[in-house]
Amino acid sequence: MSGINISEREEYDNPAIGFINNFFSAIERYLPALSVLFFIIGICLANISASFVYVINDAMETFIDSYNYLAPVAIYLILTPTLIKLFSFSRFRGRKFANRAILWFVKTRIIACVFAVVSVTLIFDLPLYSSTLGFTKAMSESLHSFAWMLGHSVYFYALYASGITVVISLKYDRLAKFLVKGVDLIEWLGTIIMPIIPLFMMGIGAYVTIIPKMIEKNVGNDIAGFQLGSITMLGIPIDAAAPYGMILIYVLGSFLTGAVCGLWHFGLIILAKYKMPDFSLKKYFTAYWVKIYPLLWATSSEAMATPLNLLLIKKLCPDIRDEVRQFVVGTGSFFNINGTMINVFIMTAIVAGVLGIQISFMQLFFSIPIVFLIGYGVPGIPGELLIFAGPLALCMRISPELTPIFLSLYIGLQIGLPDSFRTASNSTDDCLGVIILDKKY
């Protein structure tokens, strides 16, 4: 028995532990195949039973909604021990890294917004200039909304509580040692989440089959009696009023979000490879990306994926310091949402085109500060784009008569597939951010 390590000895003494460990290992090994299989099963069951669709989607929404109450707690448990490690190891060095990491998040958000505006201008063939008289009013409302979020967002509460706790714990070593264990619990939850990923994929498969009904439910009543226009994507005109026109716009807009977010992500991969020459792209996609993407795509929740993200990044890059990984993922779950930033501009162009409203590159460009600020208040849950709709309607100078229709389309068309693609981009960006920022540490 001398050649058996501690974990193997536990499995030998307790067969139940061995069975559980083997079960989770098998789930992780076959997770990509199981995700695809359950996605197909969801489509088939939805075609057989319409009631199944609504039952499983209600169950998913209930589960996600309940988790969102726990997300601020998870952020607190991740950030607090991470900050304690950073400051206790070297207060000057830890503070310097935290500042650099947050500054990196700010810079990448600005670059992502500019990248999105340029991409949308080219894809939708927008003119360079038109009037931007609504910018000042929209900016004022956005600053007001952001100030309100600072005092009312539970995610900011978690951040404040973490900072206060760190200040106190640095004076009491026993409290600091206790809190450091909290992040281990979060990472352990990542293992527990893996077996339910296929079930979420079954739910999203069922959702895909009823996209027409869902769009009609979300926007149908509001656009009744209004003549929809046509929109041009990559030189291809699509009439929103034609049969299945709105559905085609929804699907193409969703995959357009995925494509632009994918191009952005590819740029970060190149940067990560530059920072870490031995970074294996094959291992990145096989050991990390295919395992985290199904959960992100199915749940559209960065908060829910945080435990699994921490776990998989640790396995992918075991040599990266824990405090770097935990800080970047912990703060990145609500700071690093560049996929959401990209989708905001894509959705704005789509809805404006459907309503026949001419917008320009300059209008989108001058709305970047608005999107940038509001982005710090998004909750990291499905449907988070709704908080951008009102300020952007002002910035795009949408008439009061069209504003309710603009808001309805903007909110309705961003649910589902666009949620999936932008969320998956947000959290997978965190992995590359860990690699890039580890070099700064």
For the chain, percent of residues with pLDDT exceeding 70:
68
CA dist., res. 1 & res. 15, Å (int)? 16
pLDDT recorded at residue 132: 46
pLDDT recorded at residue 349: 92
Handedness of CA 289, 290, 295, 300 (dihedral sign): positive
pLDDT recorded at residue 4: 42
CA dist., res. 110 & res. 108, Å (int)? 5
Q: How sure is the predictor about 133, in pLDDT bands with cuts at 50, 70 and 90?
A: very low
> Smallest Cα–Cα separation from 339: which of 156, 189, 163, 116?
116
Residues in the chain: 441
pLDDT recorded at residue 212: 53
Q: Where is mean pLDDT largest: 228-237, 338-347, 351-360?
A: 338-347
Is residue 206 scored above 60 in pLDDT?
Answer: yes
Report pLDDT digits (tens) over 238-263: 877 666 677 788 888 889 999 999 99
Is residue 116 scored above 90 in pLDDT?
Answer: yes
| Between 88 and 331, residue with greater pLDDT | 331
pLDDT recorded at residue 28: 63
| Between 78 and 236, residue with greater pLDDT | 236
> Out of 1.10.1040.10, 1.10.3860.10, 3.90.1010.10, 1.10.287.1080, which CATH number does the structure's domain 207-440 have?
1.10.3860.10
Report pLDDT digits (tens) over 65-102: 565 566 577 667 766 776 776 666 555 566 788 888 88
Is residue 433 scored above 90 in pLDDT?
Answer: yes
Report pLDDT digits (tens) over 383-405: 667 778 777 887 787 877 778 77
pLDDT recorded at residue 141: 59
> Smallest Cα–Cα separation from 341: which of 369, 301, 304?
369
Q: Name the token pair of 203.
A: 């739910």
> Does residue 233 sit in helix, strand or coil?
strand
**Type and span of the H or E element at 209:** helix 197-209
> Smallest Cα–Cα separation from 333: which of 78, 103, 1, 2?
78
- In this prediction, residues 273-282 reach a mean pLDDT of 90
Is residue 18 scored above 90 in pLDDT?
Answer: no
pLDDT recorded at residue 226: 56
| Between 413 and 280, residue with greater pLDDT | 280
Q: Which residues contact 47 (CB under 8 A, 6 or more apart)?
A: 209
Is residue 44 scored above 70 in pLDDT?
Answer: yes
* Lowest mean per-residue pLDDT among 18-22, 108-112, 319-323, 351-355: 18-22
pLDDT recorded at residue 6: 42
Report pLDDT digits (tens) over 162-185: 889 888 887 887 887 777 666 566
Is residue 12 scored above 60 in pLDDT?
Answer: no
For the chain, percent of residues with pLDDT exceeding 90:
17
pLDDT recorded at residue 341: 93
Average pLDDT, the chain: 76
Is residue 45 scored above 80 in pLDDT?
Answer: yes
Task: For 149-172, give one letter per residue: b (16+ CB within 10 A) or e.
Answer: beeebebbebbebbeebbeebeee
| Between 247 and 319, residue with greater pLDDT | 319
pLDDT recorded at residue 5: 46
Is residue 14 scored above 70 in pLDDT?
Answer: no
| Between 269 and 228, residue with greater pLDDT | 269
Q: How sure is the predictor about 191, in pLDDT bands with cuts at 50, 70 and 90?
A: low
